[in-house]
Amino acid sequence: MNDKLYGKFLFNFLAKDQKNAEAVMEAGKGFVVPGITADKFNTVEEAAEKVKELKTVTNMVSIGLGGGGNTANWKKVLEIAAASNPGHINQPFETATYSKGYLDGNGTPKQLVNALIQPTGEVGKIKLANSGTILAVEEFMEVASGLGIESIKMMPVKGTQHLEELIYVTKVASKKGIRGVEPAGGISASNIKEIIQGVKDIDIEFFMPHIFGTTIDKESGETIPEKVQEILNEVEGL
């Protein structure tokens, strides 16, 4: 895994191409996992080639579902990963262990597969992204840990709207031996400091916010390095 800020924090930004990935990595001082989303590509082959291009500048690329966490894209993400060895993929909880097993059995080098859940508006409860089932956080983490899931993605956190839920999820994940937590949705330079402060004292291997919308140039589709640098400036020195 890439170097982590304070030994814990990574930041996931999209990268349009190799040049953009290089600029984003530099702006983020290396504490970055660049990524793509499956919905932006017409074919698996096209997406796999993009992953291989990005991997010329980093050892880990993240493949997202896209479409605001559209769980219907899970299989496309898996097929891209099998063809490109990205290092990190996004999956709904319901397909995470299958995807991990499929990639292991396919001879693909070990991939970090996260499991997507959603906030409910109530601290201590989470919703499964695919089925809509609501579970107690402790119950869910017990199952996730038993299934060998290494990372939990929580989306949409809507900036800090679900921060208390996110903090609670991170605390329980840490206690259950889950390696990482990955929040997404509405995260920007205006709220990243509060989010990082909320979890900085929790003993978890990594915490990786996914920060897309506010950092992307709408015309070029590139992530803006200055926006990445702004986010890093907000959290350095905490």
d(CA 131, CA 120): 13
My answer on whether omega of the bond before 109 falls inside 30° of 0, hence cis, is no
pLDDT tens digits, one per residue of 79-112 = 999 999 999 999 999 999 999 999 988 777 889 9
| Contact predicate 32/206, CB 8 Å | no
What CATH superfamily classification does 11-235 receive?
Aldolase class I (3.20.20.70)
In percent, the amount of the chain with pLDDT more than 70 equals 100
Average pLDDT over every residue of 174-200: 97
d(CA 218, CA 201): 36
Q: Supply 177's token pair.
A: 């031996």
pLDDT tens digits, one per residue of 49-74 = 999 999 999 999 999 999 999 999 99
What's the first-to-final CA gap in the chain, in angstroms? Answer: 22
pLDDT, residue 37, reads: 98
pLDDT, residue 109, reads: 81
Average pLDDT over every residue of 168-190: 98
**Dihedral sign of CA atoms 26, 27, 28, 29 in order:** positive
pLDDT, residue 106, reads: 79
The pLDDT confidence band at residue 6, using thresholds 50, 70 and 90, is very high
pLDDT tens digits, one per residue of 113-164 = 999 999 999 999 999 988 899 999 999 999 999 999 999 999 999 999 999 9
d(CA 64, CA 35): 7
d(CA 11, CA 212): 10
Residue 13 pLDDT greater than 90, yes or no:
yes
* Mean per-residue pLDDT of the chain: 96
Longest Cα–Cα distance in the chain = 44
Average pLDDT over every residue of 2-27: 95
Read off the DSSP letter of residue 121. S
